[in-house]
Chains A and B, each alone.
Chain A
Amino acid sequence: MRSKILSIFLLAFLLVTGACTPQAAPPSPTTAPIAPTAPPASNAKTGFTVTDALGRQVTFQTVPQRIVLAGKALFMVADAIYTFPEAGKNIVALGSTTQGSGNFIPMIDPTFKAKISLDMSAGAEQIAVAKPDCVIMKSSNAQTLGKSLEAIHIPVVYLDFETPDQYQRDLKTLGQLFQNPDRASQVAAFYQDQVNVISSKVSSLTDTQKPKTLVLYYSSQNGTVAFNVPPMGWMQTLLVTTAGGTPVWQDANPGSGWTKVSLEQVAAWNPDVIFIVSYFSPVNDVVKQLKADPQWQALAAVKNNKIFGFASDVYSWDEPDSRWILGLSWVASKLHPDLFPNTDVSNEAQTFYQQLYGMDAAAFQKNIQPLLTGDIH
């Protein structure tokens, strides 16, 4: 009897499964988006396609008016998106955009408080509450979150913004999405021009003229201090090579994330220049502490006063955040002060915020200037 009951149950389960399975193929990313509840922008065009970081073609009928920024590692993508003037108005919900030290978006978006705040691990249902007509996220979230959103026909656009090349590509994608290719070209040119200025000056350097450079990320948890080096493909390494330095940790990081190194290894490298990155402790305090440490004092970089706290404001400038271009200019000025004698990082930062975020001098003085830290001068 019991056997029959369970058999019937299993049969029912199979029938339910069969009945519930959609007959049509799974929705493609080009499925028409949900009709926006807000009126379309006046400059909206009918039917256009966006090519995202995964090479997907996403079709929109109008410029998305209810954009959600979701997924993990969001703040760096958010800062890049906000270089478009449409972002403040069209973004209706976003996840956490903070990184310990502060939150930049509220400084440039007066409507930030009115937006829906999403949990970092928000799933498709939580995001659907915002009724998005487009969700933007990093491509690393494609498997865990993107598929679910696509299953309920919410268009997803993936971006990376991890390297200078990806900046050029993803800015173009945003230009398509906002139907504002002029702004995309303008921002892309801002980055490329800066890179060109630095590259042209360091291109003639021989290998021996490129200082042995070390970027160390300082982390401290429960009193345990660790120093880590980035992998070769990361922005920190690209900043050093582009600015005319030789990363000494090339063979030390076979992994693909931050890798812990000992002081013994640092001593073996004995770099000419050391950049200290600290995301959660004041970087100036960390550098001061290292300079006072007798073991660190034996290093050539410390003896020659070539150990620098990486410049930062709201966020550290070593990351693949929109500020990486400031980081590049700052690194170049520290590695080659002879080639870049007139670098005024504070002025460059003001220009950056003015051109990319429309921040005037007064707002810069009030919001950003007090946060400038690291070896700015």
Chain B
Amino acid sequence: MLWLAAFLIAIFLLSVFFGRYPGPLLTSPGRLASDELAQRLVLNLRLPRLLTAVLLGMSLSAAGAVFQMIFGNPLVEPGFLGVSQGASFGAAFCIVFAIHSAWAVQISAATFGLLGLGLSYWMARRVRFGGWVLRLVLAGIAVSALFSSALGVLKYIADPLSQLPEITFWLLGGLSSITWPQFLSILPAVLVGLYIVYRMRWRLNLLSLNDETAFSLGAAPGRERTLLLIAAVVATSAVISVAGMVTWVGLIIPHIARRLFSADARYVLPASMLIGAIFTVICDDLARVIFPGEIPLGILTSLIGAVVFILLMIRQGNSIKE
């Protein structure tokens, strides 16, 4: 775990020098010391952007790990249970109706994110066929489709000259417009959410058992699960409200963490947070450095995430440590 934290710090520090100014790839320390514009770029754009990338990776991965353990389903993540789509709808709603307050966008994103999760869970409990895993996935697909359609309506009525480009930009996911005020606006919600999840990580092992067993081991399953889910959704919705739809992180990172650190939530959760942060920081570095124009972050996380996921799944002789 220590080496993961050290690696994250190293990647973070290196990333500060990555960019397109003054030329592609690296800004030399000498240039940074003498060029006022380079200093502004680093202090006012790259730093808040990198810190947001860290929060983004941590939140999505932590939420993915929490969802996968609580729902006993290795295929869920915020994007599979209607949370991301709900949060997207909530944020787009604010854009279309010209509510530009960062707090309003976050509250709206979190409210609809929670609503998406609640609906998925409610539907899964009421479906009369199939196992729990199948029912949850089906319910998540249905709820996601519902919010995606509602989002389509918002896109239809959005002003194509101002609101639609903003929604489209936001749906592709990216951190290119992050500045200090945006970063600071999400910081409290993300830290509170992550702190609760982190502090309750050892309870996750109990909460992943059935209610009777969890209760007999001293847990209050209903209340504690709800608290964990709300904390995960609040953190996720906050980062989604500024970074847009960044997919696959919540699905693959917990899998990687489990392969590295066993299935014990006490290790999987912090490992997921650290690996998730490393993954998003690297993806964001690539997004802003590879081409003269920015590549939407969501496209890179999907591409790299899917490839890593396939490799993990087909790699022989590699199983989760018990």
A269 at the interface (CB under 8 A from B): no
State A374–B121 Cα separation when bound (angstroms): 58
Given A131-B37, A144-B169, A152-B40, check contact A20 B47 (CB 8 Å). Answer: yes
Given A153-B40, A162-B161, check contact A148 B54 (CB 8 Å). Answer: no
Report which of B37, B48, B160 forms a contact with A128, defined as CB distance below 8 A. Answer: B37
State A255–B19 Cα separation when bound (angstroms): 39
Cβ-defined contact, B180 with A151, below 8 A: yes
Cβ-defined contact, B270 with A152, below 8 A: no
Cβ-defined contact, A121 with B23, below 8 A: no
Binds B, one of A9-17, A202-210, A310-318: A9-17
0 or 1 for each of A119-147: is its CB under 8 Å from B? (1 = yes): 11111111011010000001111011101
Cβ-defined contact, B157 with A255, below 8 A: yes
B41 at the interface (CB under 8 A from A): yes
State A9–B37 Cα separation when bound (angstroms): 31
In the complex, what's the smallest C-beta–C-beta distance from B42 to chain A, in angstroms? 10
Cβ-defined contact, B161 with A125, below 8 A: no
Report which of A2, A126, A129, A254 forms a contact with B267, defined as CB distance below 8 A. Answer: A2
State A177–B157 Cα separation when bound (angstroms): 34
Cβ-defined contact, A256 with B159, below 8 A: yes
Contact partners of B36 in chain A: CB under 8 A: 34
Cβ-defined contact, B157 with A144, below 8 A: no
B43 at the interface (CB under 8 A from A): yes
0 or 1 for each of B183-226: is its CB under 8 Å from A? (1 = yes): 11001000100110010000000000000000000000000000
Contact partners of B43 in chain A: CB under 8 A: 20, 22
A26 at the interface (CB under 8 A from B): yes
Report which of B45, B157, B177, B187 forms a contact with A125, defined as CB distance below 8 A. Answer: B45
Cβ-defined contact, B21 with A123, below 8 A: no
A195 at the interface (CB under 8 A from B): no
In the complex, what's the smallest C-beta–C-beta distance from B21 to chain A, in angstroms? 5
Chain A residues 148-164 with CB under 8 Å of chain B are 148, 151-153, 162
A362 at the interface (CB under 8 A from B): no
Contact partners of A255 in chain B: CB under 8 A: 156-157
Closest to A20 in B: B47
Cβ-defined contact, A148 with B184, below 8 A: no
A102 at the interface (CB under 8 A from B): no
State A2–B162 Cα separation when bound (angstroms): 48
Report which of A16, A26, A126, A128 forms a contact with B293, defined as CB distance below 8 A. Answer: A126
State A16–B5 Cα separation when bound (angstroms): 15
Closest to B178 in A: A148
Given A256-B160, A257-B160, check contact A129 B166 (CB 8 Å). Answer: no
Report which of B45, B158, B164 forms a contact with A152, defined as CB distance below 8 A. Answer: B45
In the complex, what's the smallest C-beta–C-beta distance from A320 to chain B, in angstroms? 9
State A300–B271 Cα separation when bound (angstroms): 71
Given A73-B161, A125-B288, A126-B20, check contact A143 B177 (CB 8 Å). Answer: yes
A21 at the interface (CB under 8 A from B): yes
Closest to A21 in B: B180
Report which of B177, B181, B270, B292 forms a contact with A2, defined as CB distance below 8 A. Answer: B270
State A130–B198 Cα separation when bound (angstroms): 45
Contact partners of A356 in chain B: CB under 8 A: none
Query: Considering only CB atoms and an 8 Å cut-off, how many residues of chain B contact the other chain?
Result: 55
Closest to A254 in B: B157
In the complex, what's the smallest C-beta–C-beta distance from A68 to chain B, in angstroms? 13
Cβ-defined contact, B293 with A122, below 8 A: yes
Cβ-defined contact, B166 with A144, below 8 A: yes
Cβ-defined contact, A148 with B20, below 8 A: no
0 or 1 for each of B267-283: is its CB under 8 Å from A? (1 = yes): 10010011000000000
Cβ-defined contact, A139 with B165, below 8 A: no
B111 at the interface (CB under 8 A from A): no
Cβ-defined contact, B293 with A125, below 8 A: no
Cβ-defined contact, A125 with B41, below 8 A: yes
In the complex, what's the smallest C-beta–C-beta distance from B38 to chain A, in angstroms? 8
State A123–B2 Cα separation when bound (angstroms): 35
A72 at the interface (CB under 8 A from B): yes
State A104–B173 Cα separation when bound (angstroms): 33
State A111–B181 Cα separation when bound (angstroms): 39
Contact partners of B2 in chain A: CB under 8 A: 5
Contact partners of A120 in chain B: CB under 8 A: 293
State A271–B199 Cα separation when bound (angstroms): 69
Report which of B179, B267, B291 forms a contact with A148, defined as CB distance below 8 A. Answer: B179
Given A144-B166, A256-B159, check contact A123 B176 (CB 8 Å). Answer: yes
State A129–B20 Cα separation when bound (angstroms): 8
A6 at the interface (CB under 8 A from B): yes
In the complex, what's the smallest C-beta–C-beta distance from B186 to chain A, in angstroms? 11
Contact partners of A359 in chain B: CB under 8 A: none
A118 at the interface (CB under 8 A from B): yes
B51 at the interface (CB under 8 A from A): yes
Contact partners of A2 in chain B: CB under 8 A: 1, 266-267, 270
Cβ-defined contact, B177 with A144, below 8 A: yes
State A21–B48 Cα separation when bound (angstroms): 8
State A128–B179 Cα separation when bound (angstroms): 16
In the complex, what's the smallest C-beta–C-beta distance from A144 to chain B, in angstroms? 5
Question: Which of B37, B40, B178, B292 has most chain A Cβ within 10 Å?
Answer: B292
Closest to A153 in B: B40
Given A128-B37, A152-B45, check contact A123 B294 (CB 8 Å). Answer: yes
Cβ-defined contact, A147 with B179, below 8 A: yes
Which residues of B are at the interface with A, using a C-beta cutoff of 8 A? 1-2, 5, 8-9, 19-23, 36-37, 40-41, 43-45, 47-48, 51, 54, 156-162, 164-166, 169, 176-181, 183-184, 187, 191, 194-195, 198, 266-267, 270, 273-274, 288, 291-294
A-B contact pairs, 17 of them (CB 8 A): A5-B2, A6-B274, A26-B179, A34-B37, A124-B176, A126-B21, A128-B37, A131-B37, A140-B166, A144-B166, A144-B177, A151-B40, A254-B157, A256-B158, A256-B159, A256-B160, A256-B164
Additional A-B contacts beyond A9-B5, A26-B181 (7; CB < 8 A): A2-B267, A5-B1, A17-B183, A34-B37, A121-B294, A125-B45, A257-B160
Top-5 shortest CB links A-B = A119-B293, A121-B293, A257-B160, A152-B40, A119-B292
